Amino acid sequence: MKRMTGLAIALLLLVSTVSVGAQNVQKPLEITFWSLFTGGDGEFFDAMVKEFNASQNEIVMKTDTVKFDNYYTKLTAALAARTAPDVVVMHQDRLSTFVPSGVLLPLDAYAQRAGIDLSTFEQAPLNNCKIDNKLYAIPLDVHPIIMYCNLDLFAKAGITKLPETLSELFTAAETIQKKTGAEGIAADNTTATYKAYTLTRMFLSMLMEQGVSVFNADNTKANFNNDAGVKAYQALSDMVNKYKVTPKGLDYDSSVADFRLGKAGIHFNGVWVTGLFEQQPGLNFIAVKFPALFGTNAAWAGSHTFAIPAQKSIDEKKVMGAMKFIDWMTNHGYLWAKAGHVPTRKTAVDTKEFKSLPHRADYADAAKYVFPTPPTSKWPQCYDTISDSLEESIALNRDAKTALTRMEQTINEILKK
Amino acid sequence: MKKPFDILGKLFIVFLIVLWLAPLIWLVITSLKSENTVMSDTLSLVFTPTLENYRKAFASTLLGRWMLNSLTVAVVTTILTVLIDSAMAYVLARIPFRGRKALFIFILAGMMIPFEVLIIQLYLEFTTLGLANTLAAVILPRLALPIGVFILTQFFRSIPLVLEEAAFIDGASRFTVFRTIILPLSKSAVFAVAIIAFINAWNDFLWPLVAISSSEKYTITVGIANFQGTHGTEYSLIMAGALLASVPQIIMYLLFRKNIVKSIAMTGIKE
Amino acid sequence: MLLHGADHKKRDILFFSLPYLTVYVAFMVFPVVYGFYLSFFDWNILSTKVFVGLKNYVEAFSDPEFLSSFFHTIQFVVISTPLIIVVGFIMALIAVRPTKTGRISETVFFLPYMLSTSVVGTLWAWIFQKNYGLANQLLKSVGLSPLGWLTDPSIAMTSIIIATLWWTAGFNMILFSAGMKQIPEEIYDAAKIDGAGSFTTLTKITIPLLRDTSLLVLVLQIIASFKVFGQVYVMTGGGPYGTTRVLVQYVYKTGFSYFRLGYASAMSILLFMVILLVSVIQFLRKPDETQ
C-alpha cells in the first residue's frame, strides 16, 4: 500500500512537471494569409514562406492559394464579413476599391512599432500604396512592363544598340524582319485566354512618358483624347498596321511562345516571364526597362502588396506578427526576384544574392519609373474596356482621333455611373 | 437505282462517324506528342508517342485530387438527389391533399430557373452560412432536381395500386411501402434520375468555379479550365489533362451506354 | 383511394417532402426572390445597400455592353438552334436503325455529350488554334490559307457554334430517336404498300408525327442556348474585343469582377424573364404534362 502511494505520488509529480514544462514551451503564433500567386510565382512564394517559418519559432504562416480569377471575389466577400485572414496579398490597383469602406487597416503606426524603416523602400511604389496620405499596404514588388530583346536576332540583323526612341524601335523591328525573317515585335493585340492587356499597358506607359495621366485628377473623366493620346495610339497602331512589325491577331500566350522559341526579336511584357525565358535552352536575351519612346521614362507596373484586413476585434499580437512577416519577406526580396519581379526594398536589391541573378539587375531600375493606376474602384472595368477598345480600333485600323473619341465616350460613361 | 444511293448514303454515314470521332482522336494524338513536335504548323500523324505529358499532368497539378473531389461531389449528389427527389415524388404521386396539384406546378416551375441566374445570390447565401469554399456548397443546390421529381412522379403513378393496398391492409406504414414496394419497382426511373444527376454534377462548371476558391478543393472541370489558363501554350500537356479529366465519364458511358440513353429519352417521352 | 387511415397523413407528407422542399426553397426559390430584391439596389458588398428603384433596369437598356452581350447570346441562340436540331434529327435517322451502323453511330454521336464544358472548350480552342491547330493544318494541307477561327470577329462565333454542335447534337439525336421509336411500325408498312418512297415517308409521316418531340427539342435547345457560357469563356474569353461575350459572362464579370451586385442581379432577372417566357410557351402547348 505504502509503496503504491509512493509510486502514485511520484507519477503525479512527474506528470505535473512535464505538463508545466510543456506550457512553458511557447506554441508558435499561427498567422493566416491568402496569396493569389499561382504557377511559377506560387512556387517561389511558397518557398519563401517555408523559409520564413523555418527561420524563427514565434510565428508560423499558413497559406491558401486561390485561383487568380476568383481571388478578389472571395477576398471581397471575406473582407465584408470581417472573416478575412490576418494578412493578404493584394494588387496595388485594387486598394482604392477596398480602402474607402474601411476594410483594411492603416499601417503607418504598426510599421513604426515593428521597426520597419520605410525609407529603405523605393519611394515610388511605396507612395502608390498611400491613400489620403495614409499607408494601407506595403509593396513586395513592382512588376513593370519591360522590353525583352533576342540578342542573337539582333546580331544577325546587324543591330548593335538597343532601341531607345520610337523611330529606333520601328527601325530595329523592320530590320530584324527583313534580315532574319523573324517577327519584329511580339506584342499581343487580341483576346484569348487573356485580354490584350499589353496594348493598354503600353498605351498608359506612353501617355505617362509624355507627362499625361490616363484620367483627370479626380478620376471623373478620361484624359487621353489629346495630342499625347494620339501619339501613343498611333505608335501602337503603326506597329501593327503601318510597319507591320507585329502580326495581327496575336494573343498573349502566342506572343510569349514566339519570343521564347526565338521567333521574335523584341517582346513587350511584364517582368514575370523572365523566369520562363531563362529556362529556355538556347534563348540568348536581354531584359531592360521600357524605353523612353517619347523622351522620358515611365512604365506601367502592377505591384503585389501586403495588406492587413480589419477584423471584428483587432488582435494586436497577430497584426504585429503579420508586420514581422512582411518585414522579412520584403527584406528577402532577392528570393522573390527569382520569379522575375523587382523587389521594392533597396536593402534587398543591394545584396549580392540579387546582383548575382541574371537579368534582374538589368531592369531593376525600372522600379524608379512606375506610376500608379487611377485610384478609383471603377478601374477594373475601365482597364478591361480600354483593352477591348484598343484591340478593336487597331484591328479595324481606325485613325487616332476616331479611336480615341470612341474610347473616351465609353470610359466617361463608366466613370459617370 | 437504289444501289448507288445506298452506297452514297453509307459513305456519308461513315464520313460523319469519322468526322465526329476526329476531334477526340486528335486530342489523344496531341497528348501523346512531345511538346516541341506539337508546335508545328503542318499536319503530322507520324510521330513517336510519349507518356511524358500524362506524367507531368499528374505531377504538376492536383489532378488526382480534383478527380477525387469530382467523384465525391458526383456520388454524394447522386445518392442524395435520388433519395430526396423520390421522397418528394412519392408525395406527389400517392398522397392526395388540397393543393397538391399547385405544389406539383410549383416544383416543376423550377425547371425554368437557369442556374446561371442564381450564382451571385447563392454565393452570398453560402458565404453567410459559412459554407463558402466547401464541397457541401457545390453539392447542396443541385439536390432539388425538378426533372428528377417529374420523371419519378410520372413513374410512380404508373405502378398499380393493388400492391400498396395489400401492404396497407396488413398495417404497413407509408415509409415501409415506399422502401419495399415503390422503390424496388422503379429501378429504371431511379436509375434514370441517378444518371442525370451524376452527369450534371460531374460536368458542372460555373457554380464550382464560383463556389470554390482553394485549388485543392476544385472539381475536375474547374481544375482543367484553370490548368489551361496557367499552362498557356503547353498544348500537349493540356490535352493530356483534358483526357484524364474525361476518363471516368468515358468509362461510365461505355459501361452504361444503353441506360444513359434510355434516361435521356425518358425526359421526353409522355406516358 | 388507398385504404389506410388518414392518421399519419400529415406526418408523412411533411417527412417525405421536407428535404426536397427545404433544398428547393433555400437554393432555388429564395435566390430568385433575393436576386429580384437586390436588383433594386446598388451594392458592392463592402458598403451598405443603396436603394435605387428601377435604375439598374434602366441602365441595362442603355448599357452598350449589356446590349451587345444580350445580342451575342441571341445571335448564338438563333444560329445554333436550327443547326443543332436539324443535325440531331439527321443523326437520329441514322442511329435509329437496328443495324450495326446504327448502333455505332448512336454511340459515337452521343459520346461528346458526356464530356464537360471545359474539356470541350479546351479541345476546340486547340483545334482552332491559329498557328498549330488542326483546323488550319488541314486547310494548309489542301493549299488554302489559314483562318483566324477564334481571332477573327466574323468567324469566332461560328467556331463556338461548331464546337457546341459537336458537343450537344447527340442529345437531340436521342430525343428524336425515342420519338421515332414510338411511331408504330404499321404506319410505315402501310405507306410502303401504298408505294411511298423514302423521301415521302420522311416528310409526310415521320416529321409530322414527331411534332411533339420536335417541340420539346426546340424548347430545351433554346433554353440551353440562352445559358451559354462555359465554352465561350474557355475558347475566346468573350473576344476578340468582346465580340463573342455572352450575357451570362457579362453578368458573371459585373458581379464578381466589378462588384456591382445590384446591377448584375437586375441583368440576371432580365435573362430569367426571357427564359421563363420561352418555357411558358412550352407548358402552354402541352397542358397534359402537368397533370
Query: Same structural domain for residues A46 and A102?
Result: yes
**Chain A residues touching B210 at Cβ < 8 A:** 70, 73
The answer to whether C135 touches C155, Cβ cutoff 8 Å, is no
Instruction: Tell me how close the Cα of B60 comes to any Cα of chain A, in angstroms.
Output: 9
Q: Which residue of chain A has the CA closest to B209?
A: A70
Partner A contacted by B232 (CB < 8 A):
yes
CA distances from C208 to A362, C81, C96, C200, C213 (A): 75, 19, 17, 12, 10
Provide the domain count of chain C.
1
Instruction: Tell me how close the Cα of A248 comes to any Cα of chain B, in angstroms.
Output: 17
**pLDDT value of residue A216:** 93
**pLDDT value of residue A282:** 92
Mean pLDDT, residues B226-251: 81
Q: Chain B, 74-93: which have a CB under 8 Å from a chain A CB?
A: none
d(CA A22, CA A16): 10
Considering only CB atoms, B122 lies closest to which of C27, C125, C166, namely C27
Q: Do B90 and C16 touch (CB under 8 A)?
A: yes
Does the structure show a pLDDT above 80 at B212? yes
Query: Is residue A189 in a domain?
Result: yes
Q: Do B233 and A254 touch (CB under 8 A)?
A: yes
Q: Do C28 and B118 touch (CB under 8 A)?
A: yes
Query: Collapsing DSSP states into helix, strand and coil, what is residue A248?
Result: coil
Query: Same structural domain for residues A53 and A194?
Result: no
Q: Do B232 and A256 touch (CB under 8 A)?
A: yes
What residues make up the domain containing C81? 63-290
Long-range contacts of B74-77 (CB under 8 A, 24+ apart): B74/B198, B74/B201, B74/B202, B75/B198, B76/B135, B76/B139, B77/B139, B77/B142, B77/B143, B77/B197, B77/B198, B77/B200, B77/B201
**pLDDT value of residue C75:** 95
Query: Collapsing DSSP states into helix, strand and coil, what is residue A101?
Result: helix
For residue C79, give every residue at least 6 positions away whose Cβ sits within 8 Å of its Cβ, in sequence order, or none.
Answer: C157, C158, C161
Q: Do C34 and B121 touch (CB under 8 A)?
A: yes
Q: Do C256 and A388 touch (CB under 8 A)?
A: no
Considering only CB atoms, C20 lies closest to which of B26, B84, B111, namely B84
Does the structure show a pLDDT above 80 at B179? yes
Query: Same structural domain for residues A174 and A114?
Result: no
Partner A contacted by B213 (CB < 8 A):
yes
**Chain A residues touching C242 at Cβ < 8 A:** 191, 388, 392
Query: Same structural domain for residues A257 and A311?
Result: no
Mean pLDDT, residues A366-392: 91
Partner C contacted by A70 (CB < 8 A):
yes
Taking only the tens place, the pLDDT of each residue in B41-77 is 667 777 888 898 888 888 777 888 898 999 999 999 9
Query: Is residue C127 in a domain?
Result: yes
Residue from B222, B128, B146, B267 nearest C28 by CA: B146
Query: Same structural domain for residues A193 and A93?
Result: no
Q: Do A395 and C153 touch (CB under 8 A)?
A: yes
**pLDDT value of residue A12:** 57
Q: Do A395 and C237 touch (CB under 8 A)?
A: no
Partner C contacted by A380 (CB < 8 A):
yes
Q: Do A257 and B39 touch (CB under 8 A)?
A: yes
Q: Do B42 and C107 touch (CB under 8 A)?
A: no
Residue B48 has φ and ψ, to the nearest 5°, of -100, 115
Q: Do C259 and A97 touch (CB under 8 A)?
A: yes
What residues make up the domain containing A361? 29-140+303-371
DSSP per residue, B77-127: HHHHHHHHHHHHHHHHHH---TTHHHHHHHHHGGGG--GGGTHHHHHHHHH
At the top level of CATH, the class of B61-266 is mainly alpha
Would you give the DSSP letter of residue A147? E
Strand partners, A63: A33
Query: Is residue A6 in a domain?
Result: no
Region of A221 on the Ramachandran plot (φ > 0 left; ψ -120 to 50 alpha; else beta) = beta
Q: Do A194 and C148 touch (CB under 8 A)?
A: no
CATH classification at residue C141: 1.10.3720.10
Taking only the tens place, the pLDDT of each residue in A216-260 is 999 999 999 999 999 999 999 999 999 999 999 898 888 998 999
Q: Do A192 and C44 touch (CB under 8 A)?
A: no
CATH classification at residue A307: 3.40.190.10
Q: Do C166 and B84 touch (CB under 8 A)?
A: no
Which of C13 and B266 is assigned the larger pLDDT? C13
Partner A contacted by B173 (CB < 8 A):
no
Query: Same structural domain for residues A286 and A322?
Result: no
**pLDDT value of residue A247:** 93
Q: Do A81 and B127 touch (CB under 8 A)?
A: yes
Query: Is residue C9 in a domain?
Result: no
Domains of chain B by residue range: 61-266
Query: Same structural domain for residues A73 and A212?
Result: no
Instruction: Tell me how close the Cα of A90 comes to any Cα of chain C, in angstroms.
Output: 14
Query: Is residue A11 in a domain?
Result: no
Give the other-Cβ count within 10 Å of B135's Cβ: 19
Q: Do B220 and C126 touch (CB under 8 A)?
A: no
Pairing relationship of beta strands A59-65 and A29-35 according to DSSP bridges:
parallel
Query: Is residue C39 in a domain?
Result: no
Does the structure show a pLDDT above 60 at B86? yes
Q: Do A70 and C150 touch (CB under 8 A)?
A: no
Instruction: Tell me how close the Cα of A99 comes to any Cα of chain B, in angstroms.
Output: 21
Instruction: Tell me how close the Cα of C154 comes to any Cα of chain B, in angstroms.
Output: 23
Query: Is residue C12 in a domain?
Result: no
**Chain B residues touching C235 at Cβ < 8 A:** none
Query: Same structural domain for residues A98 and A216?
Result: no
Q: Which residue of chain B has the CA closest to A40?
A: B230
**Chain B residues touching C108 at Cβ < 8 A:** 17, 20-21
Considering only CB atoms, B127 lies closest to which of A39, A66, A77, namely A77
Which chains are within 8 Å of B by 3+ CB pairs?
A: A, C
**Chain C residues touching A80 at Cβ < 8 A:** 45-46
Instruction: Tell me how close the Cα of C268 comes to any Cα of chain B, in angstroms.
Output: 5
Q: Count chain A–chain C contacts defined by CB atoms under 8 A.
A: 77
Strand partners, A65: A35
For an interface test with A, give the residue of B210, B217, B227, B233 to mutate (most A CBs within 10 A).
B233
**Chain C residues touching A97 at Cβ < 8 A:** 46, 259
Considering only CB atoms, B213 lies closest to which of A74, A253, A257, namely A74
Taking only the tens place, the pLDDT of each residue in A111-148 is 999 999 999 999 989 999 999 899 999 999 999 999 99
**pLDDT value of residue C159:** 96
Give the helix ranges, DSSP H, for A36-84.
39-55, 68-80
Give the other-Cβ count within 10 Å of B73's Cβ: 23
Instruction: Tell me how close the Cα of A407 comes to any Cα of chain C, in angstroms.
Output: 13
Give the helix ranges, DSSP H, for chain C.
9-24, 30-38, 55-62, 64-95, 100-110, 117-127, 134-141, 153-181, 185-193, 198-200, 207-209, 211-226, 230-235, 247-256, 261-285
Query: Same structural domain for residues A273 and A158?
Result: yes
Q: Which residue of chain A has the CA closest to C56?
A: A417
Query: Is residue C3 in a domain?
Result: no
Q: What is the ipTM of this complex?
A: 0.85
Range scoring the smallest mean pLDDT among A36-40, A303-307, B136-140: A36-40
Taking all residues of chain A, what is their mean pLDDT, rounded to a whole number? 89
Q: Which residue of chain B has the CA closest to C167?
A: B20
**Chain C residues touching A192 at Cβ < 8 A:** 125, 150-151, 236-237, 239
Per-residue pLDDT of chain C (291 residues; tens, 9 = 90+): 455 555 688 888 899 999 999 999 999 999 999 999 999 999 988 888 999 999 999 999 999 999 999 999 999 999 999 999 999 999 999 998 888 989 999 999 999 999 988 899 999 999 998 888 899 999 998 999 999 899 899 999 999 999 999 999 999 999 999 888 888 888 888 888 888 887 888 888 888 888 888 888 888 899 889 989 889 988 998 889 889 999 999 998 898 888 899 999 999 999 989 988 887 776 676 554 443
d(CA B133, CA C276): 30
Q: Name the pTM for this structure.
A: 0.84
Q: Do B118 and C110 touch (CB under 8 A)?
A: no
Give the helix ranges, DSSP H, for chain B.
2-32, 35-38, 52-60, 63-94, 100-108, 119-128, 135-139, 146-157, 162-169, 174-177, 183-185, 187-203, 206-211, 220-230, 235-266
* Positive or negative torsion for Cα A385, A389, A390, A391: positive
Mean pLDDT, residues B127-139: 87
Considering only CB atoms, C241 lies closest to which of A80, A100, A191, namely A191
Q: What percent of chain A has pLDDT over 70?
A: 92
Query: Collapsing DSSP states into helix, strand and coil, what is residue A177?
Result: helix
Which chains are within 8 Å of C by 3+ CB pairs?
A: A, B
Q: Chain A, 195-234: which have a CB under 8 Å from a chain C CB?
A: 195-196
d(CA B50, CA B37): 11
Query: Is residue A16 in a domain?
Result: no
What HEC string does A316-380 produce?
A: HHHHHHHHHHHHHHHHCHHHHHHHCCEECEHHHHCCHHHHCCCCHHHHHHHHHHEECCCCCCCHH
**pLDDT value of residue B232:** 67
**Chain C residues touching A193 at Cβ < 8 A:** 237
**pLDDT value of residue B41:** 65
The answer to whether B213 touches B12, Cβ cutoff 8 Å, is no
The residue among A371, A386, A408 that closes a domain is: A371
**pLDDT value of residue C86:** 95
Provide the domain count of chain A.
2
Query: Same structural domain for residues A277 and A332?
Result: no
Q: Do C239 and A192 touch (CB under 8 A)?
A: yes
d(CA A207, CA A408): 14
Taking only the tens place, the pLDDT of each residue in A158-215 is 999 999 999 999 999 999 999 999 999 999 999 887 889 999 999 999 999 999 999 9
Query: Is residue A220 in a domain?
Result: yes
* Three cell numbers written together for A214: 490616363
In the numeric block, the cell 420519338 is attached to C179
d(CA A104, CA C191): 78
Pairing relationship of beta strands A59-65 and C50-51 according to DSSP bridges:
unpaired
Query: Is residue C134 in a domain?
Result: yes
Mean pLDDT, residues A59-80: 76
